[in-house]
């Protein structure tokens, strides 16, 4: 190898890592730029239709959230909904996974059918349910409930009904995801602990409580993590059905930030709300990640 060749080679080698990284860097820039811009706007009084009133206001938008009456209720709904949705979906998902883990006929077909809700765009899911959940007996859901003697439920026209509706629609759409992950986890569990438990004479419930659940815990924490992040920032289902109403009962932080930014064009305030939501998501995810690390270590 002569010097020229070596230099050429050297240059190529020095260049190569950057070349390989380029797509990731472009992607990163594409992610960071809007985020940085949003963070900057959250420190300003940016209001689309009053360009002359644009000012840097430091943390005013964040401080003022405390006195914004809608913020408290939106925060409450965001957190309350997340707790309820995650508990419901993980609880039901676990039950379905355990059921499908047993040797039942047609398991393969059920598993395939369960994928259907996952393939539907959430807005379509929401609109489909909105039609089924008509408030009178004309709605198919109320019609079916009438056979078991339930009076028509005012799904979207009452505050409690609207919250329940969002919860049901979100659960319908995401339950299969939870069930399939947990089913995958169950099928990956080692056989030995079960045999040992059987030898020790443990009953079904004891096996579930002292063997299955601890072994499954990394998977459970994983689905809790995913579902928590998604439930905290749920938007499409609410936007397509209740728009945050009635009486702001289904307004979460995401809907509120949307209203401020794109309905009233107060970008500064809207961005501040979105960043508060982001912080909540980051903190929850961080705590759950730690839990996940601990859970997966302890089962190894």
Partner 1 sequence: MNVQRRWINRLLLSSPLAMGGALCARAQDDAALAYYREAKINWKQADGQSLTIGLNKHPFTESLLPLIPEFRRLTGINVEYLILPEAEYFTKLVADLSQQRGEFSVIMTGPMRNWQYVPPDWILPLDGFLNNAKLTDPNWFKLDDFYPALIKANRWDGKTGGGVGEGPLYSIPVLAETYILAYRKDLFDQYNIKVPTTLEEMAEAAALVKKNAGIPGIVARGTPSVASMGTGFLSGLKSYTDGQWSEFDGKMNANFHDPRSVKYTELWINMVRDSGPPNWANMQWYDAMEAFTAGQAGMIADADFFAANYEDPKKSKVAGKVGYALIPPGPGGKTYSGLWTWALGISKATKNKDAAWLFVQWATAQRTLLNATLGYRNYNPSRQSITNDPRVQEIMGSWGNGSYLKVLAKNLETARVAWTPQPERTRLGDIWARALHEVYFKRLSAADALKKASVEMDKVLKEAGIK
Residues that bind partner 1 (CB under 8 A): 47-51, 53, 134-136, 138, 152, 154-159, 162, 241-248, 259, 262-265
- Residue nearer to partner 1 on the CB measure, 53 or 198: 53
CB burial of 175-204 (b: ≥16 within 10 Å; e: otherwise) equals bbbbbbbbbebbeebeeeeeeebeeeebee
Question: Is 260 or 292 the residue whose CB approaches partner 1 more closely?
Answer: 260
Choice between 117 and 157, CB closer to partner 1? 157
- Least CB distance from residue 130 to partner 1, whole Å? 9
Minimum CB distance to partner 1 smaller for 51 or for 203: 51
Give me the least distance between CB of 158 and partner 1, in Å please: 8
DSSP string covering the chain: --HHHHHHHHHHHHHHHHHHHHHHHHHHHHHHHHHHHHHHHTTB---TT-GGG--B-TTHHHHGGGG-HHHHHHHHHHHHHHHHHHHHHHHHHHHHHHHHHS--TTHHHHHHHHTHHHHS-HHHHHHHHHHHT-SSTTSHHHHHHHHTTPPPP-TTTSHHHHHHHHHHHHHHHHHHHHHHHHHHHHHHS-SHHHHHHHHTT--HHHHIIIIIHHHHHHHHHHHHHHHHHHHHT--HHHHHHTTT-STTTT--HHHHHHIIIIIS--HHHHHHHHHHHHHHHHHHHHHHHHHHHHHHHHT-
The residue (of 115 and 144) whose beta carbon lies closer to partner 1 is 144
- In the complex, what is the shortest distance from the CB of residue 4 to partner 1, in angstroms, rounded to a whole number? 48
Nearest distance from C-beta of residue 57 to partner 1, angstroms: 11
Q: How far is the CB of 262 from partner 1 (least distance, A)?
A: 5
Min separation Cβ 36 and partner 1, Å: 19
CB of 160 to partner 1, least distance (A): 10
- Choose between 57 and 229: whose C-beta lies nearer to partner 1: 57
Q: Given the complex with partner 1, which of 185 and 244 has the nearer CB atom?
A: 244
């Amino acid at each position: 190898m002569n010097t020229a060749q070596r230099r050429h080679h050297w240059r190529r080698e020095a260049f190569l890592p950057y070349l390989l990284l380029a797509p990731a860097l472009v992607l990163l820039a594409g992610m960071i730029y809007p985020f940085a811009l949003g963070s900057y706007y959250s420190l300003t009084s940016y209001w689309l239709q009053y360009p002359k009133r644009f000012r840097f206001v430091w943390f005013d938008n964040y401080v003022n959230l405390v006195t914004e009456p809608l913020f408290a209720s939106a925060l409450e709904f965001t957190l309350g909904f997340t707790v309820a949705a995650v508990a419901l979906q993980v609880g039901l998902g676990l039950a379905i996974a355990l059921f499908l883990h047993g040797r039942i006929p047609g398991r393969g077909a059920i598993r395939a059918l369960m994928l259907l809700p996952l393939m539907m765009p959430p807005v379509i899911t929401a609109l489909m349910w909105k039609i089924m959940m008509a408030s009178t007996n004309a709605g198919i859901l109320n019609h079916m409930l009438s056979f078991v003697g339930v009076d028509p439920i005012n799904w979207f026209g009452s505050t409690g009904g609207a919250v329940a509706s969002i919860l049901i629609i979100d659960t319908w759409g995401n339950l299969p995801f939870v069930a399939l992950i947990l089913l995958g986890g169950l099928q990956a569990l080692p056989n030995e602990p079960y045999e040992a438990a059987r030898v020790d004479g443990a009953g079904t419930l004891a096996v579930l409580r002292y063997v299955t659940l601890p072994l499954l815990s990394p998977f459970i924490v994983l689905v809790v993590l995913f579902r928590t992040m998604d439930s905290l920032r749920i938007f499409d289902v609410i936007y397509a059905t209740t728009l945050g109403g009635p009486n702001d009962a289904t307004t979460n932080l995401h809907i509120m930030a949307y209203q401020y930014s794109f309905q009233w064009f107060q970008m500064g305030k809207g961005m501040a709300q979105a960043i508060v939501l982001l912080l909540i998501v980051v903190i929850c995810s961080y705590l759950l990640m730690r839990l996940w690390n601990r859970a997966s270590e302890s089962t190894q």
